Amino acid sequence: MPRSRDDKYSTFLALTSEGIWHIAATPPIPVALPADEQVRAVVERGVLVECNDAMARMYGLRDAGQLTGTALRDLLDPDEPQNREYLHAFVRSGYRLEGYESVERGVDGDRRIFLNSLLGIVHEGHLVEAWGSQVDITERKQLEARARQTQAMDAVSRLAGSVAHDFNNLLTTILTSVEMLTDHFEAGDPLREDAEEIRRSARRGAELTRQLLALSRQQVLAPRATDVHALVRRIEGEIRNVLAGSAKVDFTFGDGPGIAHVDVDELEQMLLHLATHAAGVIGERGAFAIDVRRERLAETRAALPDKVTPGDYVTITMRHSGIQIPSTGGASLLEPFAGAEMPSLGSGLALATMYGFVRESSGAVVLEPAPSGVALTIYFPATQLAAPVVPANAIANGPGTRTVLLAEDEPTVRLMMKRVLERAGYTVLHASTGEEALELATAHASTIDALVTDVIMPGMGGSELSRRLRQARPGIRVLHVSGYTAGALRQHEVLDSGAAFLQKPFSSQTFLAKLAEIFV
């Protein structure tokens, strides 16, 4: 027996994946009203009188019976700009609209985006009802938004990478030059204070470059087993110089060593960045302290920070009197871009960079109120792996009669690196290309203890240069440096080879410390 028209209609409503709906206006709306008044009347008078189960499920409901009878204003928020445009377009089009988006909410409050096609029925000059269909395109819109974000990040990444090399070379020259200049002035000399301010500004420029590269995921990270106690002791002098105007600066250390798997250069820069921003808010009567220790966090610890699991950690706690933060009853995990910027810690971008680095090192950053200001603790999982120990006097006493072959194509950077090495006691052979460096090495009859080479140079690059020199001089040590991003360096196999590497920009102290490491 043939099915009735109503049976076929019901079957269609049940089988289609589109939401089918029927809205009636009571009383009908005069089409002669101005558009704004018609839109207002549609929202106030519209009632959903019929729909299928597919539409109900789009709102998180089980079946159509749970949705029918709902006022249009409870489905379609008229204050949402997209919805106002949707309703105005419906009126402007003569009550026939195809492929227009609306923004609505499910029963769980989640934002949903629907693509609508609808037809209004006009009788005797009044809009009586409207029939339509809708498709849930929320997931598609989210994918499109992520694609746009990815494209934007790619654009930022390309821009950051394109300027990083030249900017890093420039900052390396500034940092090394101003450090050598500072040494000529006594403490308290106004000219020394001017030089210190130049150094602080250059450090901030270096930090900004690092943050941009981190944001675009092009930063160069080379984590390795590191004695964090020894690392902080090594840069204690630099941190004290940054905080020279503060009344009280304290460093305390627990029993060492505290070994963690971290990127040494990134950790150094992060601590110097925190000290620099703290110096700007502490004032002459303030206080700054860093405490480094290895500790075991047990499950029974009352103030175990959120997301920090029990275990052995190397902790670095920085306390200073720059600002007060509201107490939350205990420690809280620092999240990137959370709330307003905190001038004592840095910009939102800086905090996000720090957070990302620590999380990539499997650690956590915890912020707590302290009696006189703020306390920030960085947790790195402790490891038992042995870490190379650079003696405190390695930089001062190590060079002696050592000879370094320096290959760097940027003239100003090459000159500054040469001066730093010579002032530290090294004998320096310097070249602007890999080919020239090989010629110098061939002509030099005596021992060459180390090669310091830029990775990417015109002609022969640093990787090829170091390979050929190791063949000719098997005992030579090698330190690679570069201002390029991780993406540019990856094809040169320096990062994957485990070779000693130093990212530009760097200070003279960092450069000499890194060079001392390769002789350990």
Regarding whether 127 and 23 lie in a shared domain, the answer is yes
Regarding whether 443 and 372 lie in a shared domain, the answer is no
Q: What are the Cα distances from residue 197, in Å, to 93, 176, 204, 322, 509?
A: 64, 14, 11, 19, 17
Regarding whether 113 and 64 lie in a shared domain, the answer is yes
Regarding whether 401 and 332 lie in a shared domain, the answer is no
Decide if 181 is inside a domain.
no
Query: Are 388 and 374 in contact, with CB atoms under 8 Å apart?
Result: no
Decide if 175 is inside a domain.
no
Decide if 201 is inside a domain.
no
- Here the CATH number for the domain that contains residue 79 is 3.30.450.20
- DSSP class of 327: -
Give the integer Cα–Cα distance in Å for 205 and 203: 5
Regarding whether 410 and 502 lie in a shared domain, the answer is yes
Decide if 23 is inside a domain.
yes
Regarding whether 364 and 410 lie in a shared domain, the answer is no
Helix (H) or strand (E) holding 337: none
Last residue within a domain, chosen from 389, 409, 441: 389
For residue 258, what are the contacts with CB-CB under 8 A and spacing of at least 6?
A: 227, 228, 229, 292, 293, 294, 314, 382
The pLDDT tens digits along the chain (520 residues) read 445 556 666 666 666 789 999 999 999 999 999 999 999 999 999 999 999 999 999 999 999 999 999 999 988 888 899 999 999 999 999 999 999 999 998 888 888 999 999 999 999 999 999 999 999 999 999 888 888 877 776 676 666 666 666 777 888 888 888 888 887 887 778 888 888 888 888 877 777 776 666 655 555 566 778 889 988 988 888 888 777 766 688 899 988 778 998 888 778 878 887 887 777 777 666 788 899 999 887 765 545 555 667 888 899 998 877 655 444 433 344 444 343 344 445 555 566 667 777 877 888 887 776 666 778 888 899 887 654 544 444 444 455 679 999 999 989 989 989 999 998 899 999 999 999 999 999 999 899 999 999 888 888 988 889 889 989 998 899 998 887 665 555 555 655 455 688 888 888 888 888 898 888 7
Regarding whether 335 and 288 lie in a shared domain, the answer is yes
For residue 4, what are the contacts with CB-CB under 8 A and spacing of at least 6?
A: none
Regarding whether 343 and 477 lie in a shared domain, the answer is no
Regarding whether 114 and 27 lie in a shared domain, the answer is yes
Query: Considering only CA atoms, which of 238, 93, 121 is closest in space to residue 179?
Result: 238
Containing structural domain, residue 99: 5-136
User: Residue 294, Cβ neighbours under 10 Å: how many?
Assistant: 20
Regarding whether 233 and 377 lie in a shared domain, the answer is yes
Last residue within a domain, chosen from 354, 389, 424: 389
Regarding whether 70 and 19 lie in a shared domain, the answer is yes
- Here the CATH number for the domain that contains residue 231 is 3.30.565.10
Last residue within a domain, chosen from 368, 389, 410: 389
Domain count, the chain: 3
Decide if 441 is inside a domain.
yes
Regarding whether 420 and 384 lie in a shared domain, the answer is no
